Structure 1
Amino acid sequence: MTAYGIIGTGHMGSMLAEEFIRRGAINREELWVSNRSQEKAQKLARKLGVRAADNLKVAERSDVLFLCVRPVDLKGVIAETSELLTPEKLIVSVAVDFSLRQLESLCRARAARAIPSVASGKGLGVTLLVLGSGASEDDRSLVFRLFGSIGWPVEVAEEQLEVLSDLTSSGPAYISAILREFALEASMRGAGVDKDLAEQLIKKTLIGTAALLEDESFDDLIAMVATRGGITEEGAKVIEALSPEMFRQLFSATSAKHRLVKDRIGNVEE
């Protein structure tokens, strides 16, 4: 029986524990959890029927260990448990900006990176995966099975993670921010449209649009709605004209933040 551990039971760690258990990817008796606040880990353990312990015991008992702590805390967690992270174990880090090279330089375990999305809590999230040089085909199959239970795992090149995580991990926030402004503007047009009603209508429209996009490309769906010479076409032209600059600024801002996080993490070889 494979034993699994999760160090860090914040939002992401708790979500992974709950969804892996709920969807049958991991059995309750196979999972150990720990957290800086042991009370929080104990609470999650009672809720899910799994076992809670400190970091050292979780690392010792686990064959596959998920590291769900902040990037700036990851080096310390690995340093604490490094003697237990042997080549027989697989560690899976969900921390952005902490590279495989850094992970592999700090311990002897096989390593992988996984960047899930909050949508994984609904079984509909994309998880970006990068596997280290020491990871085996069995490791690849295992992480694809686990993250496949909560959405769509996609293996990518590590250098693509920053840009792609803006689309997947950060995407739900960006999409929500755009649609919030859409609803707010609709409510301010002077026709007595209630903001909450506008928000609910956009949410329902988004669900239907997502279903259509299972079969259609963006361009094809735009063409289906924005008929030539029609009202929707005028609105689509405005978006096409103004949004490129907004998204250029978005990627510039997130890229700058990535650099700041990497600077805070520091060079593990220092």
Structure 2
Amino acid sequence: MNVGFIGTGNMGRILIEAFIESHALRPSSIYMTNRTLTKASNIKSFYPNTNIVRSPEEVVERSDLIFICVKPLDIHPLLLKLNPLLLPNKCIISITSPINVEQLEQLVNCQVARVIPSITNRALSGVSLLTFGKSCHRETKNIIEELLRKISTPVHIEDEVTRVSSDIVSCGPAFFSYILQRFVDGAVKETSITHDQAVQLASEMIIGMGKLLETELYTLPTLQEKVCVKGGVTGEGIKVLAAETGEMFEKLFKSTHDKYYEDIEHITQQFGK
């Protein structure tokens, strides 16, 4: 089986690297192209057996599964151009959230799926969000799920929770790395700890907390309970967090959803509905 990638920007590259390093795909089975071929060449410099082709059409001709890793507004014109080559035995996999599988199925005659990956997949961990179109054959579904299982925990989602799921899984690492950076900056500003030492301690703390959650020994609430001692230091810190965060996360999700609906409006103009 050959797998194609149209677009080798950040997320396209993450998927390619994760699939290769997890042994989900042989480098020689990967066909990739990008508007700027230098980006694809950079990947090939690390994985010489991967294949660079000069056009999306050639990716489609040579591949069974085709990951579409381009900007949302570029997908409609791209698929219109590629549709004559998208035979029923092939499957396109979009990685963008504003376009649903039903819209994709309006345009093409092949099988359709949507996968929303996360940067955590590069460490062969985290979640990937999965939605299949009605056109997708059972065998194809199994192949896609097995690929994703090599680099993540695949989770099926419905359209109504696409944005919030993506906020948590895909945007979450950026949100929480920002919070962690502010945590570190506060420690450095208010105490004599060095920046490097604070980063090391905070990073190891996050890794350890993730492993604790992975073991399911503790839930998020029980982690707080176990660390907080009545009348202790941690409790005082939690009071500050409760007061200062307020409705911060509610506002965060409102903001991401506002942008999402704005994107959907532009997409709807292209797709017609």
Give the counterpart letter for 2:213 in structure 1: L
Cα distance change on mapping 1:224 and 1:12 into 2, 3 Å: same
Aligned mates of 2:195, 2:42 — CA distance in 1: 38
Match of 2:211 in 1: 211
> 1:110: how far off?
1.0
> 1:46: how far off?
4.6
CA contact (8 A) 2:105 2:135 kept: no
Match of 1:226 in 2: 228
Structure 1 residues without counterparts, runs of 5 or longer: none
Match of 2:120 in 1: 119
Question: How many pairs align?
Answer: 268
Aligned mates of 1:13, 1:146 — CA distance in 2: 15
CA contact (8 A) 1:127 1:154 kept: yes
1:127 alignment partner, SS class: strand
Q: Equivalent residues in 2 for 1:179-190 (5 A)?
A: 179-189=180-190
CA deviations on 1:95-151 (whole Å, 9 max, x unpaired) are 121111211111111111111111111111310111111212222211111111112
Match of 2:179 in 1: 178
1:199 alignment partner, SS class: helix
What is the aligned-residue RMSD (CA, Å)? 1.6
Aligned mates of 2:207, 2:196 — CA distance in 1: 17
Q: Equivalent residues in 2 for 1:121-160 (5 A)?
A: 121-160=122-161
Structure 2 residues without counterparts, runs of 5 or longer: none
Normalised to the residue count of structure 2, the TM-score between the two structures is 0.93
Aligned mates of 1:40, 1:168 — CA distance in 2: 25
Q: Equivalent residues in 2 for 1:32-111 (5 A)?
A: 32-48=31-47, 49-53=49-53, 54-111=55-112
Which one is further off, 117-126 or 225-234? 225-234
Give the counterpart letter for 2:78 in structure 1: V
Sequence identity, in percent?
34
Aligned mates of 2:121, 2:73 — CA distance in 1: 24
CA contact (8 A) 2:4 2:67 kept: yes
Match of 1:250 in 2: 252
Which one is further off, 37-46 or 20-29? 37-46
Which one is further off, 244-253 or 46-55? 46-55
> 1:241: how far off?
4.0
Aligned mates of 2:188, 2:27 — CA distance in 1: 47
Aligned mates of 2:231, 2:187 — CA distance in 1: 23
> 1:32: how far off?
0.8
